[in-house]
Amino acid sequence: MSIFVKYVIGNWKLNPKTPAESLALAQGLQALGAGKVKVGCTPSFVHLAGVTDVLKTSDVWVGVQDVSAFGATGAFTGDVSAVQVTELGAKFTLIGHSERRQYHGESDKTLAQKMINAHLANLVVVFCVGESLDEYQSGLAFNVLDKQLSVLHQIDKSQINADKLIIAYEPVWAIGTGLTPTLDEIKKTHAHIKHYLSTQCHADLPVLYGGSVNDKNASDIASCQGVDGVLVGGASLKIESFAPIVSAFSQLS
Ligand code: PGA
């Protein structure tokens, strides 16, 4: 993926309640996403078809929040495959979001398999990593990030496509809390992740920041060295708060 483009991706999580609300949100996105900012959104699976339809003539990238670690089709009750979402027009998927790790106990092995399946289906993967509050306070953040990123080596090189990989750094303690690391911490952590990727994976990948990004802090975060974009949860659910975040990135020279 290009590190010259900036990515502003909405993680809609388990929102909104109705298809009509998702479609309205998608309509609001239609005008965004041109130029050097790649705007994306990740509706619920059940709203995916409607949202891809609304956005099919726009530059907005539609993705999903997860894919199955199992087959493209088959006896895997409750799962949704990368191939199925590609058929509906999805172009990317999040993998390893901390809420998946926490509530679904997703292991590194599972995440590696999801990544393989996503790339087999030609989806771009936004691989999420981030430390907990305890790990942050104990000064272990970089060790945790290295361990989470090491999943990338567990995958055979023939099964992973670095051209379709983006990393999202999301400190767990910053998600939905209104707290963010300082700009200096963000800069240092992104530099650490980029150093890890270039030395251990020989890859130069975009690294997004996520965790309590909003219309107030977006400009500062956008101007932070090493930040190639943002993954936005709560503030992506209203165009009034999401559009200014996109503007903050499009105004960068
Ligand atoms: P938040 O969520 O912006 O609501 O903190 C970010 C995320 O979980 O991706």
pLDDT along the chain (253 residues), means of 10: 86 98 97 86 98 96 98 97 98 98 96 96 98 98 98 86 94 98 98 96 94 98 97 98 96 78
> Considering only CA atoms, which residue is closest to atom 9 of ligand 1?
233
Task: Give strand ranges (E) for 74-217.
Answer: 92-95, 124-129, 165-169, 207-210
Sign of CA dihedral 70, 119, 232, 236: negative
Which ligand 1 atom minimizes the distance to the CA of 236?
A: 3
Vertex 102 angle, CA 23 and 232, to 5°:
40
Reported pTM: 0.97
- For atom 7 of ligand 1, the residue with the nearest CA is 233
- CA 157–ligand 1 middle distance (angstroms): 30
Query: How far apart are the CA of 81 and the centre of ligand 1, in A?
Result: 24
Find out whether 166 and 129 touch, Cβ atoms under 8 Å: no
DSSP state of 197: H
Ligand 1 atom closest to the Cα of residue 214 is: 3
Q: Is residue 202 packed enough to be buried (19+ CB in 10 Å), middle (13-18) or exposed (0-12)?
A: exposed
Catalytic residues: 97, 170
Spatial distance between the Cα atoms of 233 and 8, rounded to a whole number of angstroms? 11
Q: Which residue type sits at 22?
A: S
Q: Which helix (H) or strand (E) holds 153?
A: helix 151-154
Q: How far is CA 191 from CA 13, 75, 175, 188, 207, in A?
A: 28, 43, 21, 5, 9
Other Cβ atoms within 10 Å of 251 Cβ, number: 11
Sole residue written with tokens 């309640």? 17
Ligand 1 mean position, distance from CA 53 (Å): 25
Is 211 close to ligand 1, i.e. is its CB under 6 Å away?
yes
* CA atoms 126, 221, 249, 206: torsion sign: negative
Question: Which tokens hold the place of 6?
Answer: 């900036």
Residue with CA at minimum distance from ligand 1 atom 6: 233
* pLDDT for the residue numbered 162: 87
Give me the sign of the Cα torsion angle 180, 182, 184, 188.
Answer: negative
Residue nearest atom 1 of ligand 1, based on CA coordinates:
233
- End-to-end C-alpha distance for the chain, whole angstroms: 20
pLDDT attached to residue 253: 61
Q: Which residues neighbour 20 within 8 Å (Cβ) at sequence distance 6 or greater?
A: none
The predicted pLDDT at position 154 comes to 84
Please report the atom of ligand 1 found closest to the CA of residue 168: 9
pLDDT at 150: 96
